[in-house]
Amino acid sequence: MPGRDATVDAASAVFDALAHPVRRDILRLLGEGEHTATGLAEPFAMSRPAVSQHLRILREAGLVQEQRAGRNHIYALNPSALLLIDEWLEHFRHFWPRRLRALDELLRRRTP
Amino acid sequence: MKRDLTFEYVYAFDVEEVWFALTDAVTLSQWLMPNDIVPTPGARFQFHTKPAPGFDGIVHCEVLRVERPTLLSYSWRGGGVDTVVTFTLRQVAEGTLLRLEHTGFEGVRAVFVSFLLGSGWKSAHLREQLTHTLEARFARPPN
């Protein structure tokens, strides 16, 4: 595991990457599925190089990953996103059993 | 990996009694959270809980299906999750078997983006979450 500083730097790269509206829109598009750089350039009416620059920043922040498919570069969200979902799953894994027990106690109290 | 949660619980009470506890706002608030549920398809309601950094404490719900008194399903959105909660009740010898399914977590990419870009994206909580994620991502054995 790297030192704390490396992690803090990485987190700050993420926040810088998120600070630009075009990059947030690119993330939204990638949230629907993977795209090529050309496919991403179209909806923004931007030049390929301008989009590539945004993609580079997103990639360096670890939010987006790039794969080569022949002559194309395919962009997708980073799978580490799964970890955030796992934290929510973990939360509800504990939340619901506690609530269901509370319902049992409530039903028992209500019965004379 | 399937990202759904299922729980079962048997209550020594009739289906009607458990149904009431699921659909009456006052009773529901006594075991789950304060809410203004109306068990009618299409009705929107909210649960209110303690806010946390990155979560305003409000769960936004919309009733999806009602089959009185055995099935209740509503959407569950808040703090970056966009999911569905379904309760099914069945009479068994011991009383009522409640089955709870919390599904929709597999919409990972969209949820990740809404989590990143939702109101909480600048928050300390998200910073913390991202730090965990990044730590995990960079956690590799030394060469």
User: pLDDT tens across B76-86, in order?
Assistant: 987 667 789 99
- Measured in angstroms, the CA of A96 and the nearest CA of chain B are apart by 8
Half-sphere exposure in the Cβ direction for B125 (13 Å, CA): 17
Q: What local confidence, expressed as pLDDT, does residue A29 receive? A: 84
Domains plus CATH for chain B? 5-138 (3.30.530.20)
Whether residue A56 is found in the same domain as residue A1: yes
| Residue B110: band (very low, low, confident or very high) from pLDDT cuts 50, 70, 90 | low
Q: Are residue A8 and residue A32 in the same domain, yes or no?
A: yes
pLDDT at A1: 42
Check whether residue A107 and residue A67 sit in a common domain. Answer: no
Q: Do B137 and A27 touch (CB under 8 A)?
A: no
Q: Is A19 on the interface with B (CB under 8 A)?
A: no
A81 contacts on B by Cβ (under 8 Å): 108-109, 112, 133
Backbone CA torsion sign across A10, A15, A21, A26: positive
Tell me what pLDDT residue B143 has.
35
| Partner-chain residue, chosen from A18, A24, A84, that has the shortest CB–CB distance to B112 | A84
Length of chain A: 112
Question: Hey, which of A23-37, B40-54, B98-112, B128-142 has the most confident mean pLDDT?
Answer: B40-54
Judge whether A69 is closer than 8 Å to chain B, CB to CB: no
| pLDDT computed for residue A11 by the predictor | 58
Same domain (yes/no): A59, A47: yes
How confident is residue B33, by pLDDT bands cut at 50, 70 and 90?
A: very high
- Coil vs helix vs strand at B5: strand
How high does pLDDT run on average in chain A? 80
Higher-confidence position of B5 and A85 = B5
Sheet of A64-69, strand order: A35-36, A72-77, A64-69
Residues A27 and A44 in one domain: yes
- In this prediction, residue A5 has a pLDDT band, given cuts at 50, 70 and 90, of low
pLDDT band at A45 (very low <50, low <70, confident <90, very high): confident
Q: How many domains does chain A have?
A: 2
Mean of pLDDT values over B104-122: 57
Decide if A107 and B132 are in contact by the 8 Å CB cutoff.
no
SS3 call for B7: strand
Please report the number of interchain residue pairs, chain A to chain B, with beta-carbon separation below 8 angstroms. 118
**Are residues A100 and A49 part of one domain?**
no
Is A89 an interface residue toward B (CB < 8 Å)? yes
Domain that holds residue A19: 1-78
Set of chain B residues whose Cβ sits within 8 Å of the Cβ of A25: none
Distances (CA, A) of A43 to A6, A10, A38, A56, B72: 35, 29, 10, 18, 40
- Check whether residue A1 and residue A53 sit in a common domain: yes
**Chain A residues closer than 8 Å to B129 by CB:** 84, 87
Angle between helices A4-18 and B124-138 (to 10 degrees): 120
Q: What is the mean pLDDT of residues A62-74?
A: 86
DSSP per-residue letters across A80-99 = THHHHHHHHHHHHHHHHHHH
CB contacts, 8 Å: B112 with chain A: 31, 77, 81, 84-85
Q: Taking residues A76-81, report their average pLDDT.
A: 70
